[in-house]
Structure 1
Amino acid sequence: MPQWKNRPEGSNWGDFGADDQLGTLNYIGPAERRAAAAEIREGLAFCLSLPLDLPGKLVLNPRRKPPVLAPTCLDETPYINFPLANLDPILRDVISDDQVLLSTQYSTQWDSLAHVGALFDADGDGVAERVYYNGHRAGLDVLGAGGEAGHGCYARRLSVCEMAKTPVQGRGVLIDFVRHYGPGRKLIGLAEMQEVLKAQRIALCPGDILLLRTGYAEALVEMQDAPDPERLDQTGAVLDGTDAALQAWITESRIGAIAADNYAVENPHSDPQACCLRLPLHHHCLFKLGLPLAELWYLRDLARALEPRGRSAVFLTAPPLYLPGAIGSPVTPVATL
C-alpha cells in the first residue's frame, strides 16, 4: 500500500511501486547499460572527482567541514608506522592504519533521496507532514538523534546504499556550458538548455545521466584551498530551478540523474518568496521525481577529450559508498570512452 493518499502535483510517486526508493534510476536497466557500454571505443578513462579536501575551508557551506584524517588506536597507541615487533619481537611488519571524519557532501558527492523533503499533506487530512520522495516519513524512515543506536542520524529508507546496490552505472552525457557560454555566471532555463543541446548536437535517451560542465570546479582547483566567495558567485552556469518549463523538460526527458561540477546544481540564490522553496530544483528532482543530484564533479579533462572527437556520451560508473543510513556520499566517478 502507498504511504500517501495525496501525491504532489507533477510527481511520479507510486509509478515505480508503492515502496520505491530508486526513483528515476529505474530508467537505467540492462538495455540502457548495454547501450552505454557501446560508448567505450578507445578505452580512455577519466576520474571525475575533485580531491576530497576541496573546495577548502567552510566557504560553500559552513555546516560541512573538510575531512580530518587520524590514526586508528588500540590501548591509546596510534597505529601509524607501528612496528609489530612491539607486540612480538620476531615480527618485521610495520603497520599504518587510518580513519576519517568526513562530511559526506563536502566535496564531489551524491545527494540521496533523503537529502531534501518537504512539508506536504500526504495523508489528505489537511495537515502538512515532513515527507520525502514517495511518501517516506521523517521520524520513521529518516531518523534524527536517538533514532538508531550508535548514530546521530540514520536514513532507514532512501539512503545512498540503495543507489550503491543498484548500482549507478549507465550513459553519461556531457553538456558543456563553458564551451557555449564561457565560465561566467549564467542562468540556465529551458531555452538556454535547448540552445546548448542543439549547438552541441546532443540527443538524450531515457536513463541518461547529465554531466553539466560549468567551470565552477575548475575555479576551485585554481583557488587551491583558498576559495573566493565573491569570485565563485560570478562563476559558472546554474540551472534556474524556478523555470517551470525546465522542470517539465526534466520530467519528460526521463533522465536518470543530474551531476554538475558546481555547488547545488541550481541557482543557490533563488528567491524563496517566489515559490516558498529555497531549492526549487532539489524539490522537483529529489522530492517529486526521485531524481538523484550530484555536485562538485570535475569535468574539464573529460570535456577536453570529448570535444575534438565530436562526442558527448561516455560510459559512466559512479556508485556512492555502500554506507547504510547515509544521506549523502562522496563519489569517485569514472567516465570511459
Structure 2
Amino acid sequence: MPRWVNRPEGSNWGDFAEDDQIGRMNLLTPERRRAAMAEVQDGIAFTLSLPLNVPSIPFAPFRQPPQLSAACDEEGGMFNRLDPDGQETTCDDRVLLYTQHSTQWDALSHRGRAFDADGDGVAELVYYNGFRAGDDVSGPVGQTGATCAHALGIETLATAGVQGRGVMVNLKAAYGIESRAVTRDDLLRAMDAQRVELRPGDFLLLYTGFDRLVLDREARGDDTPLTLAGCALDGSDESLLQWITDSDIVAICSDNVAIEALGAILSPEPPPIRLPIHDLCLFRQGIFLGELWYLEELAAWLGERQRHAFLLTAPPLRLPGSVGSPVTPVATV
C-alpha cells in the first residue's frame, strides 16, 4: 500500500523519491558544495552556536538546559579517578540533554499534522512525505517512555552532508530590534538593499539581533520576556510562503526562537495552522529549520565588507530517532 494517496497543497511529497527523508537537502549537490567553497576568501571561521546552557532561563518548560555530571560505575563517579598506578587520572561525564534547547536543528519529524493522506475522508497524523505518527514516529504511552522517529530522525540530516553556501540577510540592520512580522516585500526589500543573491541549494540565515538580547539577559540574570522581540517571518503572508517554496533553499536559520512571528500562536484564538512557516518547511516542503543560532559576529563582519555569502558547515548529532539536535555551525568566509 502506498504511504499516501493525497498530498498537501503546496507540498513536494514524492518529488525526490517515494521514501525520501531529507527533502530539499537533495538540492545540495556536489556542484553546489564546490560553488560554496568558492565563497571562502579570507579563511576566517565563525562559530555560530550559543553555549548549550544558554538560555539558562528556558523559553519553554519542556526545553531545559543540559545537566552535566560524572559518569558512574560501581565505584562511584568517574571524575579525577586515579588509575591503578596512582599517578594518572581519568574523567568521564554524561549529560541529560534536551535536543532542542539552545542552538539547534529541527528534524522533519519535529512538526506534523492531521491530514487525509489516505484519501478516505478521515484525517490521520502524518509528517513529511506521508510518514505516520505511531508507526514511523512513535511516542510514549502517558507522560514517560521510549520515543523514536523511525523515519525522518535527525540522523537523516547528519548523513546528508550539511555543508553548502550560506547567505545572510541582516534584518536587524534593515528594520531594527523592535518586534516586526517580516513579509515577503520586507524581506525582498532588505535583500535588495544588501545586494543579497540567493541561489538554489542555499542556506538562508536571518539575523535579527535576538542572540544579543539573549546574551544580555544572561548577563543580567533576569527573566525579561523576549519571545516577541525583533524581526521574524510573517507566516500569515501567503506570498512569503510561496516565495520560500519557489526559492529552492534547503534550510532557513535564524538567531531567534522560532524563525516565524509568534504573535498569532500566542493570541487567545490561534489560527488552525499554528506555525505556518514550520508547516510549510518541515511538513510540506522538507526545508530544515535552525533556531537560536549565534549570528552577531558573522553579521557584523559581513556587513563591514558588504558581503553576504560564505561556506556553512552545520551537521547535527548523528543521533538515530531524535526529532532535533544541538548544532555548532561554522561559517568560513
TM-score range, shorter chain: over 0.9
Tell me by how many angstroms 1:267 deviates. Answer: 1.1
Q: 1:202 aligns with which of 190, 196, 203?
A: 196
User: Which residue does 1:8 correspond to in 2?
Assistant: 8
- Cα 1:227–1:3 change in 2 (3 A) is farther
Tell me by how many angstroms 1:234 deviates. Answer: 4.8
CA contact (8 A) 1:316 1:335 kept: yes
Q: TM-score, normalised by structure 1?
A: 0.94
Mapped partners of 2:179, 2:80: distance in 1: 47
- Cα 1:227–1:12 change in 2 (3 A) is farther
Mapped partners of 1:138, 1:274: distance in 2: 23
CA contact (8 A) 2:167 2:310 kept: yes
**Residue 329 of structure 1 aligns to a residue in which SS?**
strand
Gaps of 5+ in 2: none
1:170 aligns with 2:169: no
Tell me by how many angstroms 1:93 deviates. Answer: 1.7
User: Which residue does 1:42 correspond to in 2?
Assistant: 42
Q: 1:224 aligns with which of 218, 234, 237?
A: 218
Write the deviation string for residues 95-129 of structure 1: whole angstroms up to 9, x where unpaired: 11101001000100000000000100000000000
1:73 aligns with 2:67: no
User: Which residue does 1:107 correspond to in 2?
Assistant: 102
Tell me by how many angstroms 1:229 deviates. Answer: 4.0
Q: 2:120 aligns with which of 102, 122, 125?
A: 125
Mapped partners of 1:234, 1:291: distance in 2: 23
Q: Which runs of 4+ in 1 moved over 3 A?
A: 225-230, 271-275
Mapped partners of 1:79, 1:31: distance in 2: 47
1:95 aligns with 2:79: no
Tell me by how many angstroms 1:151 deviates. Answer: 6.3
User: Which residue does 1:328 correspond to in 2?
Assistant: 324
Tell me by how many angstroms 1:228 deviates. Answer: 3.5
Mapped partners of 2:228, 2:6: distance in 1: 40
CA contact (8 A) 2:255 2:294 kept: yes
- Cα 1:128–1:227 change in 2 (3 A) is farther
What code does the residue aligned with 2:125 have?
R
Mapped partners of 2:105, 2:75: distance in 1: 35
What code does the residue aligned with 1:75 have?
E
Pairwise CA RMSD: 1.6
Mapped partners of 2:75, 2:53: distance in 1: 27
Matches within 5 A, 1:143-162: 143-145=138-140, 152-162=146-156
Mapped partners of 2:60, 2:309: distance in 1: 32
Write the deviation string for residues 218-264 of structure 1: whole angstroms up to 9, x where unpaired: 1101111735343x145210111111100000000010100000001
What code does the residue aligned with 1:139 have?
G
What code does the residue aligned with 2:287 have?
L
CA contact (8 A) 1:120 1:130 kept: yes
Mapped partners of 1:102, 1:218: distance in 2: 24
Mapped partners of 1:187, 1:71: distance in 2: 44
**Residue 68 of structure 2 aligns to a residue in which SS?**
strand
Q: TM-score, normalised by structure 2?
A: 0.95
CA contact (8 A) 2:227 2:262 kept: no
User: Which residue does 2:246 correspond to in 1?
Assistant: 252
* Count of residues in correspondence between the two structures: 328
Tell me by how many angstroms 1:24 deviates. Answer: 0.7
**Residue 316 of structure 1 aligns to a residue in which SS?**
strand
- Cα 1:132–1:229 change in 2 (3 A) is farther
Gaps of 5+ in 1: none
Q: Percent identity?
A: 48
